Amino acid sequence: MNSGGESSIAHHVEGHGVAVEGLLESPLFSSSDDQVIEMMHKLEADYRKLEAVKQRFALECAARGLPARAGIKSPIVYLQQTLRISHFDAAARVRNADRLSTVSEGSFQRPPVFPHIAAAQRAGEISAEHVQAIVKVLDRIPASVETELQELAERSLTDFARAGDPKGVTQLGVRVLAYADPDGVLTADKDRQRMRGICIGRQRADGMFPISGLLTPELGAVFLPMFAKFARPGMCNPDDPDSPHTTAELGIDTESDADDSDADAATVAARNVLRAAAKRDHRSEAQRNHDALLRFLHPDMGPTKLGYHRGLPVSTVVTMRLTDLEQRTGLATTNTGGTLSITEAIKLAARSTPYLVIVDATGRPLHLSRGQRLASAEQRLALTAVERGCTRPGCDAPATRSAVHHIKEWADGGETDIENLTFACDACHAQVNSGPNGWKTIVMPDDSEHPGKTGWIPPPHIDPARRPRVNFSHHPRVRGPSGIPGIPARRLC
C-alpha cells in the first residue's frame, strides 16, 4: 500500500472502533420496535461485510511475508497466535482469502475462485456460516463435472443463501451433489454396497455399546418412516409409564397435533394420551431414536404392526418420474426426504410393499377433492409426491414430519381440494395465524414466477414489504428467486 492508502485504511479502522464504542454505550430504550429491527438488519449486513475485510488483511499479511518474518512458516499459525483466535477461524480466513479475493500472482490479477460467493459477502447478504456451508458443498463436487454445472451450483447456492439460513444451504447441497451424479456414475450402487455397514464396539465400563456406520439408501428408506412415528415426542418413553408402549397404543394415528373435529372418540382419547406424554418428554432426538428402535425390535412389534402416522400406514413412499423409470436413470425421492437411484427404488419395490407414486413430466397431481375438513390418504399421497415436505421457505422437514394445511383456512371457506392443500411441519404450522406476527399462505397466481406453488407471506419483522416466498428446499430441479439450481436434463423426482 502507499502511504496515502495506509492513512486512509487507518482512518477507517479508527472510525470503525469509535462507532462500535458508541453502539456499546448508546441506550436503546428510546428506539421504536421497527427501528430496533431495522438497525439489527443493518448491523448484521455490516458484520458480514467485515468478514471480507478480515480476509483482505489475512491476504495482506501473507503478501508482505509477515509470517516468515516472525519465524512462522504457516500464515494460519501466524494469525492464530497474533490475534489469539482458534486454528479453525484462522484457517477459514486464509482459505477464504485465497478463494474469495482478487489475488496478485506476479503481474497477473487472479479473480476470485468463487465470484458469486465473494460478491454476496461483500454486499453483506451472506454470513461466514453461509460461506462455509456453500464452499463445503462445492468442494465435494468432483472435478470431472463440467465447469458450467459447478458455476451453476455456486450461483444457485449463493442465491438461496441470500434468503435462507446455513442449515438450508447444507440441505440443498445434498440435492446439488445428487445432481452432479444423477445416475450413480461417480458413486455407484456397487460403491454404496461396499461402504455399507454398522459397527458395534466393545461394551464400555459403564455398560454402553458404541455404534457407528453407514446405511444404504434402501435401509434408510425403510427405517426412517418408522422413526418418524415411534421417535415422536411422547412415544416409547421408557421413563414414562403412561407413554404409548403397547401394540394397540402404537397402532393409533400419531398425528397428535391434528384437529379432532372429525375424529372418533377413541382416536381423540389416544391422541390426548400422546399429547400429554409429549409435554412430559425431555429426551433428545437421538435418545428418542434409540428408544424407538428398541421398541420396534421388541417381539410383539415388527413391520406388520406399525399402525398409522399422519393418515397413512407407516411405510416408505417412493416417488419417481415415468421417464426416469423407463430409462432407468435419475433419482427417486422418499417421504422422509431421502433419495434412491432408480435401480435401488425398483429393487426396494420388488422386495417389499412400499407406496410407489409415479408422476408425469410436470410433476402435478390429478385434482383430488373432498367434502370433509381432513385430507384423504390419496390427497396426502399426492402431496407427498409433489411437495415432498413442508413448504415454508427454508424448512427442510420431509413429508413424514408434515401435516396437511389448508392454504385458505377451512374456517374461512377453504375447501379440502388438492389445489388448496399444502404441507407444513408442526413448528411451521404453528406460525400460521391471522395475528400481526403470523405467517400467511397463498396460492401463487398464474402471472407470478411460480404459479400454483404455495407462497408464504412473512411477518413484517422478517420482510416489511411482506413479499410471498416459495420453498424450493425439496425441489432442486427448479431455479427460482430463492436460488434452487435448475438442470432440466438431470432431475430429481
- Distance from C-alpha of 86 to C-alpha of 90, rounded to nearest angstrom: 6
Query: Above 70 in pLDDT, residue 259?
Result: no
Q: Are residues 173 and 219 in the same domain?
A: no
In a domain, 43, yes or no: yes
C-alpha to C-alpha distance for 176 and 451, rounded to whole angstroms: 24
pLDDT at 189: 63
- 134, 111, 109: which is closest to 121 by C-alpha? 134
pLDDT tens digit string along 88-146?
899 999 999 999 988 877 677 889 999 999 999 999 999 999 999 999 888 877 666 77
d(Cα 184, Cα 336) in Å, to the nearest integer?
A: 21
155 and 229 together in one domain: no
SS3 (DSSP) at 324: helix
Please give the pLDDT value at position 58.
Answer: 93
**Residue 465 domain-assigned (yes or no):** yes
| Torsion, Cα of 51, 53, 57, 59 (10° steps) | 70
Number of domains in the chain: 3
Q: What is the pLDDT of residue 483?
A: 37
Split at pLDDT 50, 70, 90, the class of 57 is very high
How long, in residues, is the chain? 493
Distance from C-alpha of 405 to C-alpha of 393, rounded to nearest angstrom: 15
Q: Give yes or no for residue 176 having a pLDDT over 70.
A: yes
Decide: 128 and 135 in contact? Cβ < 8 Å: no
Give the side-chain half-sphere CA count within 13 A for 8: 5
Query: Is there a single domain that holds both residue 380 and residue 349?
Result: yes
Residue 1 domain-assigned? Answer: no
Q: Taking the mean position of all CA atoms in its chain, how far away is CA 445?
A: 26
The DSSP letter of residue 114 is S
What are the angstrom distances between the C-alpha of 456 and each of 161, 163, 186, 197, 364? 17, 13, 37, 41, 20
One domain for residues 162 and 50: yes
Note whether residue 301 is domain-resident.
Answer: yes
Same domain, 344 and 466: yes
When pLDDT is averaged across residues 453-478 and rounded to a whole number, the result is 81
Please state, in angstroms and rounded to a whole number, the distance separating the CA atoms of residues 114 and 126.
14
Higher pLDDT, 309 or 419: 419
Q: Cell for 239?
A: 421413563
Return the higher-pLDDT residue of 322 and 342: 342
Helices (H) and strands (E) in the chain, counts: 18, 16
What is the rounded distance in angstroms from the CA atom of residue 31 to the CA atom of residue 35? 6
Q: Which of 282, 308, 334 is the last residue of a domain?
A: 308
Q: How many angstroms separate the Cα of 96 from the Cα of each of 45, 55, 469?
A: 18, 7, 30
> Sign (positive/negative) of CA torsion 283, 289, 292, 298?
negative
Confidence tier at 481 by pLDDT (50, 70, 90) = very low
Mean pLDDT of 40-56: 93
Q: In angstroms, what is the C-alpha Rg of the chain? A: 26
383: domain range?
316-493
Q: Which of 280, 308, 336 delimits the end of a domain?
A: 308
Residue 188 lies in a domain: no
Tell me what the pLDDT averaged over the chain comes to.
Answer: 77
- Name the pairing type of β-strands 197-200 and 211-214: antiparallel
End position of a domain, from candidates 284, 308, 332: 308
Quick one: pLDDT at residue 188? 56
Query: Strands (DSSP E) along 245-330, which ranges?
Result: 308-309, 312-313, 317-321
Q: Tell me how many degrees the CA angle 291-294-295 measures, rounded to the nearest 5.
A: 90
Question: How far apart, in whole angstroms, are the C-alpha atoms of residue 289 and residue 347?
Answer: 26
Same domain, 256 and 233: yes
> What pLDDT is recorded for position 338?
65
Q: Do 44 and 86 sit in the same domain of this protein? A: yes
Q: Are 259 and 230 part of one and the same domain? A: yes
Same domain, 376 and 404: yes
In a 3-state reduction of DSSP, which class is residue 454?
strand
| Per-residue model confidence (pLDDT) at position 150 | 84
Average pLDDT estimate for 329-348:
67
Q: 227 and 304: one domain?
A: yes
Q: Which of 467, 492, 472, 462 minimizes the C-alpha distance to 395?
A: 472
How does pLDDT run across 188-218, given as a tens digit for each residue? Answer: 566 677 778 888 888 778 778 888 888 887 7
199 part of a folded domain: no
Element (H, E) at 258: none
In this structure, what C-alpha cell is assigned to residue 261? 373435529
* DSSP output for 113-178: SSHHHHHHHHTT-S-HHHHHHHHHHHHTS-TTS-HHHHHHHHHHHHHHHHHS-HHHHHHHHHHHHH
Tell me the CB-side half-sphere exposure of residue 425, using CA atoms within 13 A.
21
Within a domain: 206: no
Question: Is residue 238 located within the same domain as residue 165?
Answer: no
Cα–Cα distance measured from residue 209 to residue 226, given in angstroms and rounded to the nearest whole number: 22
Q: How confident is the model at residue 445 (pLDDT cuts 50, 70, 90)?
A: confident
- Tally of CB atoms within 10 A around 67: 19
The predicted structure's pLDDT at residue 367: 39
Q: Are residues 326 and 473 in the same domain?
A: yes
User: Is 437 within a domain?
Assistant: yes
Please tell me the pTM assigned to this model. 0.52
340/432: higher pLDDT: 432
